[in-house]
Structure 1
Amino acid sequence: MSWAERALGELLERAGAVEARLEGRWPLYADPATGHWTTTARGSWTGGFWAGLLWLRAIMGGGPADRAAAAGRTAALAPWLQADTATRGLILWYGTAFGVMAGDASAVALRDHAARTCLDAYDSELGLVPWGGAFGGSRELARVDGLPGLLRLLRLAGPGGEAAAQSQLDRQLGLTAGERELPPAWRALPGGAWEPYPDPPPGWSRTVGWLSLAVADTGDGDRRRALLAHPRVAARFAAGSPAAPLVRPGGPPDTSAAAIEALAALKLAAWTGRESGAAGRGGAAPLRDRAAGVLRELVAEHLRGGRLLDGCYDADHGVATRHELVWGDFFLAVGLAVLTSAIDPFAC
């Protein structure tokens, strides 16, 4: 058994043990010393990652009880269909993808309903599904964490959804990647203008990860090459360079951001490898090597007993700055499953 397979097994075993103790609540982040989880009643914007992790456990050799637990969690995400938030992509795509892969009819129905609901929320004047007001703050925002999952759901909604997804990605790429400091959030102004929004701030640990993951999921070569040409993005995906979210002068590391970037790199490598010609095949190796190196570092230095530590929930407000995060566990597990060829890079 390889190091990656052992680590994946630890993560999935830990997920099963945690689920047995949650009594229907949803994990958000866990104390690094005690392992005690701070939980929510409805799952917040992270609930889909927990359902997805349980589904991954079920399809990776789990029994009927594991499948039932995963299906129950996915069904419990249905109230988020009506929430005014672009994070429905994070919740309802990642919460259903592995259930759909497993042939769960309820997961298929929820995903299809989510696709239509997300398209209904598209604002043609803004050119995107706005961030929304479900979690407070300004509603008419373009945020990089509003891209992953949401774009894939939109594309399931037919030609109109495909056009909406393209518009949203182009809007966010034009705003974010058009600036050297990669501001992760922008606010709409009257007359069609936009201005950087201070929350999350420039330099946010997850900006590159969320943006790269969304681009990788499109398969669009022009957008992929344009993003990877940005100097700050290029530095993050260069083979042999430090895992940037783990080396953050003046702030805590963020292993969850590194895990997201590793999965994005594996997906980018898969697309590059599928391109015709020797250049496409050769270009995939550095990206895959980069992903493997980051995943190995996460496992060797930050994984303890199936817990990915040193994730940063909210550095600005000092919330859970060195903790186990539910999405960190999820993206590490998915990255390891892709690296070991247990699942397809685009299974979720």
Structure 2
Amino acid sequence: MSSGKAGWAELALASVLARVSVTADEIGPRFPLYADPDTGSWTTTSRGSWTGGFWAGLLWLRALSTGDPAHRKAAADCTQRLRCWVEQDTATRGLVLWYGTALACRSGGDKAAGDLMEEAARACLASYDAELGLLPWGDAFGGPRLLARADGVPGLVPLLTHAPGDGPAAAYSHLTRHLELCLSENPPRPAWQAQTQGSWTAYPEPAPGWSRTAAWLLLAVADGLHLGDENDSLRKAAGRLAALRLAPDARLIPPAQDARPHGPVDTSAAAIEAVAALKLAALARSTGDEQAGDRLAVRAHLILRLLTEVHLSPTGALQDGCYDAERGLATRHELIWGDFFLAWGLALLTGLTEPFTM
């Protein structure tokens, strides 16, 4: 354990990963979704829902940290249990099948995970709708199929680039169409429904002011910029989103809904934003913009430090995440994706992994 300025991050990461081991023992072959803030007991799913990739990603981070073959096997086994999502009609395949495989491919080249990633990329490309310019939200979770939603962008952008042929073009179109729609209102509207003749209308759920809208879009924009896009539109979108969430006067941890500034907060959104900021900082520095890189990195440090000092339980659970404020579902809970992005942010600060896994 180093005694330098990242010492707090190393201690926090060790705590989060210790919690991963406790969770793994508790849930067995199931997937954790959210945990009660008082008891720590998990609500689980059999197939992982849209969050299964984050559990696999946490297991891979644990394996990277410990080097334990048993931990690597547990991560590899969990990743293969995500295969059932390859052909499901949902844009959240990006969340499931990118975050569930990318760290595996980085950490020693798990071939089975790499094969799953390639299979998923081809399946997602096959679901791309050229007329809409995106891969629709889908009907796997019910509701209208032809939606564009902010949470259907992250993960899917880098995943699509692994599909041969038109994959990179589809990834760029998917990202820019969502940015065009979501950023057409202020605050950004996270969901739109396709109509006839190429038009779109606002969809009410999630509502504008949702905590994770800008966070998911920032994460996707960072990945889009990393993939080498030369169009200035992504940089403008990144600047606009950063002004919303990464500006010095923005709350480090956003409310779950802007309309309820004194209601529950959402630590999971803050953790996503921290990772996005570290990615954007790395990109800025790679182009010689040290000032922007430092500003973004400082913002990410502040977020991660606050999360670990105020919202991380003694057992390593990131609490005060809000699954769904509108429905009153898990409004101050440990959320599996909150744990993942906190762990990833801390892993970036400590040098365990890199901003862009592939």
Interval of TM-score (by shorter of Structure 1 and Structure 2): over 0.9
Aligned partner of residue 218 in structure 2, secondary structure: helix
TM-score (ref. length: structure 2): 0.93
Q: Which amino acid aligns with 1:205?
A: S
How far off its partner does 1:224 sit?
A: 4.2
How far off its partner does 1:240 sit?
A: 5.7
Q: Distance in 1 between matches of 2:292 and 2:266?
A: 27
The percentage of aligned residue pairs carrying the same residue is: 55
Equivalences for residues 118-267 of structure 1 within 5 A: 118-219=124-225, 220=229, 222-230=232-240, 233-239=242-248, 241-245=250-254, 249-267=261-279
Q: Which amino acid aligns with 2:14?
A: G
CA displacement 1:101-130 (0-9 Å, x = unmatched): 121111011001011011000011111100
Equivalences for residues 78-97 of structure 1 within 5 A: 78-97=83-102
Match of 2:32 among 17, 20, 27: 27
TM-score (ref. length: structure 1): 0.96
- Partner residue of 2:55? 50
Q: Distance in 2 between matches of 1:239 and 1:341?
A: 25
- Partner residue of 2:282? 270
Q: Distance in 2 between matches of 1:246 and 1:335?
A: 20
How far off its partner does 1:246 sit?
A: 5.0
Q: Distance in 1 between matches of 2:238 and 2:354?
A: 22
- Partner residue of 1:340? 350
Q: Distance in 1 between matches of 2:177 and 2:133?
A: 7
How far off its partner does 1:244 sit?
A: 4.4
Relative distance call for 1:224 and 1:295 in structure 2 (3 A) is: farther
- Partner residue of 2:309? 300
Please tell me whether residue 3 in structure 1 is matched to residue 8 in structure 2: yes
Q: Would you say the 8 A contact 1:15–1:54 is kept in 2?
A: yes
Q: Distance in 2 between matches of 1:68 and 1:292?
A: 32
Q: Would you say the 8 A contact 2:253–2:303 is kept in 1?
A: no
Give ranges in structure 1 of 5+ residues lacking alignment.
none
Please tell me whether residue 290 in structure 1 is matched to residue 295 in structure 2: no
The alignment of Structure 1 onto Structure 2 pairs a total of residues equal to 344
Q: Distance in 2 between matches of 1:15 and 1:194?
A: 42
User: RMSD of aligned C-alpha atoms?
Assistant: 1.4
- Partner residue of 1:318? 328
Q: Distance in 2 between matches of 1:223 and 1:338?
A: 27
Aligned partner of residue 99 in structure 2, secondary structure: coil
Q: Distance in 2 between matches of 1:6 and 1:243?
A: 21
Q: Distance in 2 between matches of 1:347 and 1:211?
A: 18
CA displacement 1:196-234 (0-9 Å, x = unmatched): 11111100110010000000011247244312443x640
How far off its partner does 1:250 sit?
A: 4.2
Equivalences for residues 60-99 of structure 1 within 5 A: 60-99=65-104
Match of 1:114 among 92, 113, 120: 120
Q: Which amino acid aligns with 1:328?
A: G
CA displacement 1:236-266 (0-9 Å, x = unmatched): 1123642141586143100000000000000
Aligned partner of residue 39 in structure 1, secondary structure: strand
Q: Distance in 1 between matches of 2:254 and 2:188?
A: 15
